[in-house]
Amino acid sequence: MKKRCDELGINFMTSTSAISLIIEDDQVKGVYAKSPQGTIKINAKATLLCTGGVGHSAELIEKQGWSTKNLHYCSMPSNTGDGYKLAMAAGAKDMLRESPEFMMNYIMALPHEGVHLYIDPINGFMSLPSGGPTVFVNQDGRRFINENAKKYNLLYQRMAMQAVEVAYEVFNQDIYDQITAGIDGADEVLAKAVETNEGNSLYKEDRLEDLAKHFNLPEDVLTKTLNDYNKFAHNGKDEEFAKDKESLVAMDKGPYYIARLDPSNLIGVGGIGSNRKFEAITPDFKPIPGLYVAGMDSTMQYRNVYTITLGGSACAHDVNSGRHAAINAKEYINSL
């Protein structure tokens, strides 16, 4: 694609950031941008925003209602919501609160370096922090969700945590061994994590009753929560959240572990209101002449949760929205 653009004489300005839109007579007519040579004005008959969402902006992630305390970024550092901010300044419909973040769990004490944390075999979004046979409790020592909600959508593992102050995960050695079966060195990883305990986020005890003290949880409540859970597991019926029987595993023997679950964000999906032509729209659904949106900035087919169960949907949207935004922008230019 780059080779073809070079043949067509397309000028790529890779060290240049758009800082505001040019709006004249209620039409978008280009951008002001900051380049190594200073601020420049770029005139355009149509302008397309495709800046990759808001996944690396703590300010905008907080605006969506997520806690950013101890947040680990898996996203590209350039995805700071530039397109969203430009569109909002132009009066576009704000879809950020309805747009989903690809938000997951991680445990700070376990290995978490780099943007590929989400596929880590132990600390990734399909492994230990994602739940399943483990138990999730809140700051009051109580369960608050079916811990295997990821069965229906991997992104459900974090959504319920918007409703609690802090979330913790309880598991024992048998459950850890079940989750990490086949992973070389998994026991050594856990032992080192407990020893170094980055962020004071992971503790090991021989008795269930001793887990509460590490995060100042009410011992009587947490102990009852875990004892009740063990009864549910033995009876094969979760009487609180109807977790599927296969994931209802009793923790009858130690050692036991308790870990704080912190947020890990891969990407932002959407934020700017747009129509079927990928034109940016105002709050009353009127198009903003000359302004188009594509890629992760424009993903209005999602509401609150990323439909990851529909494989390839975001990638397909990126290609399709970019192509059709350009086609429609060309028609708009021809109509001027």
Tens of pLDDT, residue by residue over 44-75, are 999 999 999 999 999 999 999 999 999 999 98
Give residue 128's pLDDT. Answer: 98
Residues in the chain: 336
R_g of the chain, CA atoms, integer Å:
24
- Kindly report the backbone phi and psi dihedral angles of residue 302, in degrees, each rounded to the nearest multiple of 5, phi listed first: -100, 150
The H-assigned helical ranges of the chain are 2-7, 58-63, 82-89, 156-159, 173-179, 186-196, 219-235, 313-335
User: Could you report the per-residue pLDDT of 210-233, keeping only the tens digit for each?
Assistant: 999 999 999 999 999 999 999 999
User: Could you report the per-residue pLDDT of 274-315, keeping only the tens digit for each?
Assistant: 999 999 999 999 999 999 999 999 877 788 888 887 778 888
Give residue 312's pLDDT. Answer: 83
Q: Where are the beta strands (DSSP E) in 80-174?
A: 101-106, 135-138, 167-172
Give residue 100's pLDDT. Answer: 87
Q: What amino acid is encoded at 18 in this protein?
A: A
User: Could you report the per-residue pLDDT of 95-140, keeping only the tens digit for each?
Assistant: 999 998 889 999 999 999 888 898 999 999 999 999 999 999 999 9
Give residue 293's pLDDT. Answer: 97
Give residue 3's pLDDT. Answer: 96
| pLDDT for 267 beyond 80 | yes
User: Could you report the per-residue pLDDT of 183-218, keeping only the tens digit for each?
Assistant: 999 999 999 999 999 999 999 999 999 999 999 999
Give residue 285's pLDDT. Answer: 96
β 135-138/38-43 pair status: unpaired
Give residue 40's pLDDT. Answer: 96
DSSP string, 59-100: HHHHHTT---TTPEE-S-TT-SSHHHHHHHHTT--B-GGGSP
Q: Which two tokens stand for residue 107?
A: 């445990």
The answer to whether 270 touches 302, Cβ cutoff 8 Å, is yes
Give residue 261's pLDDT. Answer: 98
Dist. CA 261–CA 202, nearest whole Å:
9
Give residue 164's pLDDT. Answer: 95
Dist. CA 159–CA 16, nearest whole Å:
36
Give residue 304's pLDDT. Answer: 84
